[in-house]
């Protein structure tokens, strides 16, 4: 049977600002959604995927990345515009798409054939080169509702003029989920690289390089399973005294919708009452995020029979 890796990640607590560079007037805004009846801030899956690719580019682990970010030109540089999911990890994991228009414009098409004669050529069409991404990522949603906090600043301009601007900020944690089926990868060992990357992300949300928001996990739940459905997305909640809880995850384990032995739970939740309950039910619970990832990597390598895989000690 096919194996799947699912995860739910809760980031560290911090002050988030805009990650897109969009404004409303002189206010730099955060993305927002209505979540459980209240306004919450959110970070796009595209921003998380971009940060993962940038991690591979800068991690000094000899990862071959096709689309590289050039800080000096503030633009992407392509190694191979025809794509190569065997060589490049981002082409394999994140997918790609290039749409090309028709070489002949519609206005250049042959005149309508005479009555009774078949048309020799169809209207020219464009072509698309694409591969669906294997790694799927949800939107990150803030743990707490947005209260509307703003910071105001000023900058000196020409002729002594002063410009005023504001920034929406939100002191919160974010949680998001991901899914990956390794047998869809050209190189199944890249599942290890994906997991290590997602648990090592630095900045994702930011505002014109002025803000830093740490997207490394404070808590994480991973599931290595034959089940086709994650059943654990957005499972973290904030209890009394800001303690992280996971009541819905516990309910699903107790209901046998999730096998406890399929779960790796780590981070600050490990020493909480919910963490202890999950351990009693049979989940793999450890305080350290890196230790949990290393343990799961060993299980994945064994189950997939990955050859000569070097795991971090």
pLDDT, tens only, 163-174: 777 888 999 999
CA 4 to chain centre: 17
Closest to 90 measured CA to CA, from 133, 45, 43, 46:
133
How much is the pLDDT for 136? 97
Residue 178: pLDDT band (50, 70, 90) is: very high
Mean pLDDT of 296-306: 95
Instruction: List the Cα angle 228/232/238 in 5-degree steps.
Output: 170
How much is the pLDDT for 24? 67
Q: Note the pLDDT tens digit of each residue in 217-252.
A: 999 999 999 999 999 999 999 987 889 999 999 999
Give the number of other CB atoms < 10 A from CB of residue 218. 19
**Poorest-confidence range of 105-119, 156-170, 252-266, 296-310?**
105-119
How much is the pLDDT for 144? 95
Residue with tokens 């005149």: 111
How much is the pLDDT for 62? 81
**Poorest-confidence range of 7-21, 218-232, 293-307?**
7-21
Mean pLDDT of 64-77: 86
Residues 55 and 63 sit within 8 Å (Cβ to Cβ): no
Q: How deeply is 189 buried, as exposed, middle or buried, from its count of CB atoms within 10 A (0-12, 13-18, 19+)?
A: middle
Angle, helices 45-58 vs 190-198, to 10°: value is 110
| 203 pLDDT more than 80 | no
Query: SS in 3 state form for the chain?
Result: CCCEEEEEEEECCEEECCCCCCEECCEECCCEEEECCEEEEEECHHHHHHHHHHHHHHCCCCCCCCEEEECCCCEEEECCCCCCCCCCHHHHHCCEEEEECCCCCHHHCCCCCCCCCCCCCCCCCCEEEEECCCCEECCEEECCCCCCCEEEEEEECHHHCEEEEEEECEEECEEEEEEECHHHCCCCCHHHHHHHHHCCCCECCCCCCCCCCECCEEEEEEEEECCCCCCCCCCCEECHHHCEECHHHHHHHHCCCCCHHHEEEEEHHHHCHHHHHHHHHCCEEECCHHHHHHHHHHHHHHHHCCCCCCCCC
How much is the pLDDT for 16? 87
Residue 208: pLDDT band (50, 70, 90) is: very low
In angstroms, the CA 241 to CA 272 distance is 12
Residue 157: pLDDT band (50, 70, 90) is: low
| 36 pLDDT more than 90 | yes
Q: Regarding beta strands 14-16 and 170-172, do their DSSP bridges make them parallel or antiparallel, or are they unpaired? A: antiparallel
Give the number of other CB atoms < 10 A from CB of residue 181. 17
How much is the pLDDT for 309? 55
Q: What are the boundaries of each domain within the chain?
A: 4-100+128-156+165-227
pTM as predicted: 0.85
Q: Note the pLDDT tens digit of each residue in 82-125.
A: 888 999 999 999 987 776 666 665 555 556 666 665 555 566 67
**Poorest-confidence range of 15-19, 38-42, 61-65, 78-82?**
15-19
Q: What is the largest CA-CA distance in the chain?
A: 81
Instruction: List the Cα angle 88/219/58 in 5-degree steps.
Output: 30
- Distance separating the N- and C-terminal Cα atoms of the chain: 30
**Which residue would you say has higher pLDDT here, 239 or 187?**
187
């Amino acid at each position: 049977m096919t194996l799947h890796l699912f995860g739910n990640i809760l980031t560290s607590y911090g002050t988030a600002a805009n990650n897109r560079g969009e404004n409303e007037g002189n206010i730099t805004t955060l993305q927002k959604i209505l979540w459980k009846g209240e306004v919450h801030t959110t970070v796009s899956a595209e921003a998380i995927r971009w940060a993962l690719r940038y991690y591979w580019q800068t991690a000094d682990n000899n990862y071959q990345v096709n689309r590289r970010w050039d800080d000096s030109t503030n633009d992407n540089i392509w190694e191979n515009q025809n794509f190569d999911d065997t060589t490049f990890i981002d082409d394999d994991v994140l997918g790609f798409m290039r749409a090309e228009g028709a070489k002949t414009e519609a206005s250049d098409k042959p005149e309508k054939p005479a009555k009774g004669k078949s048309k020799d050529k169809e209207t020219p069409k464009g072509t698309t080169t694409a591969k669906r991404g294997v790694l799927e990522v949800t939107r990150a949603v803030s743990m707490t509702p947005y209260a509307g906090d703003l910071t105001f600043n000023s900058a000196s301009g020409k002729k002594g003029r002063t410009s005023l601007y504001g920034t929406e900020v939100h002191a919160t944690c974010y949680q998001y989920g991901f899914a990956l089926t390794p047998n869809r990868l050209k190189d199944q060992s890249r599942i290890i690289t994906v997991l290590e990357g997602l648990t090592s992300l630095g900045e994702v949300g930011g505002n014109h390089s002025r803000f830093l928001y740490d997207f490394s996990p404070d808590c994480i739940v991973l599931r290595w399973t034959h089940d086709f459905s994650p059943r654990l997305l957005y499972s973290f909640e904030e209890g009394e005294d800001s303690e992280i809880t996971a009541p819905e995850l516990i309910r699903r384990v107790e209901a046998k919708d999730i096998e406890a032995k399929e779960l790796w739970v780590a981070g600050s939740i490990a020493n909480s009452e919910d963490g202890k309950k999950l351990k009693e039910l049979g989940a793999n619970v450890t305080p350290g995020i890196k230790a949990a990832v290393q343990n799961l990597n060993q299980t994945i390598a064994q189950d997939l029979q990955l050859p000569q895989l070097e795991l971090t000690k």
